[in-house]
Structure formats: C-alpha cells, structure tokens
C-alpha cells in the first residue's frame, strides 16, 4: 500500500531539519512526505529545499494567519496520494522504524496512536549543535525512558478500543485516508491550539473506527518547547463536547472544500 507521511511545521526550521534527517534513516521509506506548513518564513523553505533530492518531499504552504493546523492538515490530507496516512509534528524526531511500525500495524477500521519520548530542555544545545538524530535508552537528555524501548514482538499487546484514549497525540497518529474523508477531516471551526486531534478521533470512533495504541514501537522524540497559547482551548473543548454529546460523525467545515 502507498503511505503518505504528513509533517506539520511552523517557523522552527532547526527542529524540522533534524526531523528530516531522521526521515532519511527510515527502514521503510513512505511513498511521499508532505510538509504541511502553517505559514512559516523563508528559512523553513531553505531547509526543505536541501532535502528535496534526498527524500520524496512535497512542501504545502499557506499564508500565516494564526494557528490554523486544522486547515493545513486538511489541505495536506486532500493532496495525499497514499491510502494510509501517518501524521507527525515537525518537532518530533523519528525512530528508524517509525514508518515501518505504523505501516505493519495498520488494520482496516482502526486508527493508531503512539507515545512520545520527551527531550529535556537542557539537552537542546547539544541536540541542535551536534544534530543528534539517534537517542539511546540511557541518554540523560530524555524523560519517559520506558517509552524508548523498541520491542516489536510486544507491539501487538494493546487491543483496539472504541473509547477515546487520553494517550492520543496528533504528533504520532495514523489512519486510512478513506476513513478521515468519511468524517470530512479535521474541523476547521477549531482554530488555535488544543483538542483538534481528539475531536477528529471522536468522530472516527462514532463511525465505528476503533483506536489502537502502539507501545514499544512507533517511537518519536518530542523536542522541548514552550506551550503555545491556550486562548482557544475552552471554545475547542465545547466543540469536542458537542461531538461527544450528539454522537457526531461529520463536520460541515472540513476537508471537502479541497477535494
């Protein structure tokens, strides 16, 4: 099957460079890598251009108009040629088997979500100066060390579930394109940081698509940064609660406008 890897980014070209270095080291290369760029400046384009001869890259950009992650994700999903989509944030380094793990675990009528190993703030100078892309279990620069155990024979121990998990993160997520088109993608009424991934997952669950956690595989390393503005969180929470209360499977303001 064709796999599309979508990487969201916004004005952090140093982190994106490291992410793309880890993309080069994947044991299974995706069919395409789409950089879903929420309005970054030219420095991000310069980094992406450096990798265009080394990776199957597409750079999808729109004008900066605040935090519009739902919009740029919908645009990227609409353009994706893969039948299966793996989703990653541009501040998350990939384990060499990240794409392989998600691909091998893909099952019809399920979406997958993985964990993240957190990189400590005090490790950032070394990370960027030395362009570190491989982080061992005993590295003092990380938290959550048990999440850094890659044990493929244990990956299937978690079963699919029809309830939303508090472990779900949009920075480590995969799903079938046909499933997300059915629910009309991300809800673009949700602008600003917070709840956009879980609200989308709720609508998937409401259609009968179950969520399954990947543990001991699908590993990413999240680079420390300050928390984005949460000024819209309460509004986004109310949108999510409506999806729960009304058992919604579709959002009117979604991906269909780009198809």
Domain 3-258 annotated CATH 3.90.550.10 = yes
Parse the chain into domains and list their residue ranges. Answer: 3-258
Question: Given a cut of 90, is residue 244 above it in pLDDT?
Answer: yes
Q: What is the mean pLDDT of residues 53-63?
A: 98
Question: In this predicted structure, what is the pLDDT of residue 194?
Answer: 81
Find the DSSP H helices in the chain.
13-24, 42-51, 69-79, 98-105, 124-129, 177-182, 196-206, 233-245
Question: In this predicted structure, what is the pLDDT of residue 81?
Answer: 98
| Choice among 12-26, 147-161, 227-241 with the minimum mean pLDDT | 227-241
Question: In this predicted structure, what is the pLDDT of residue 193?
Answer: 78
Prediction pTM value: 0.96
Question: In this predicted structure, what is the pLDDT of residue 164?
Answer: 96
**pLDDT band, residue 228 (cuts 50/70/90):** low
Better pLDDT: 140 or 202:
202
Q: List phi, psi (to 5°) of 188.
A: -80, 0
**pLDDT band, residue 144 (cuts 50/70/90):** confident
Strands (E), the chain: 3-9, 32-37, 57-61, 84-89, 92-94, 110-114, 116-119, 172-176, 210-214, 220-223
Q: What is the mean pLDDT of residues 151-166?
A: 94
Question: In this predicted structure, what is the pLDDT of residue 259?
Answer: 97
Percentage of the chain beyond pLDDT 90 is 91
């Amino acid at each position: 099957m064709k796999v599309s890897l979508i990487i969201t980014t916004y004005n952090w070209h140093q982190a994106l460079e490291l992410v793309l270095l880890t993309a080069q080291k994947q044991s299974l290369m995706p069919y395409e890598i789409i950089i879903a760029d929420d309005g970054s400046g030219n420095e991000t384009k310069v980094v992406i251009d450096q990798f265009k001869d080394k990776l199957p890259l597409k750079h999808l950009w729109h004008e900066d108009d605040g935090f519009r992650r739902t919009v740029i994700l919908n645009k990227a999903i609409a353009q994706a040629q893969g039948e299966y989509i793996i989703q990653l944030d541009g501040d998350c380094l990939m384990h060499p088997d990240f794409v392989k793990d998600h691909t091998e675990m893909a099952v019809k009528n399920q979406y997958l979500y993985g964990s993240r190993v957190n990189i400590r703030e005090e490790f950032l100078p070394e990370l960027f100066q030395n362009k570190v892309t491989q982080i061992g279990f005993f590295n003092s620069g990380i938290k959550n060390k048990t999440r850094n155990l890659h044990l493929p024979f244990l990956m299937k121990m978690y079963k699919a579930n029809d309830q939303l998990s508090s472990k779900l993160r949009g920075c480590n997520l995969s799903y079938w394109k046909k499933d997300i088109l059915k629910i009309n993608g991300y809800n673009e009424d949700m602008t600003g940081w917070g709840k956009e991934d879980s609200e989308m997952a709720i609508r998937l669950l409401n259609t009968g698509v179950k969520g399954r956690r990947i543990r001991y595989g699908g590993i990413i390393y999240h680079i420390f940064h300050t928390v984005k503005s949460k000024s819209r969180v309460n509004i986004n929470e109310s949108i999510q609660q409506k999806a729960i209360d009304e058992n919604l499977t579709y959002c009117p303001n979604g991906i269909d406008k780009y198809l």
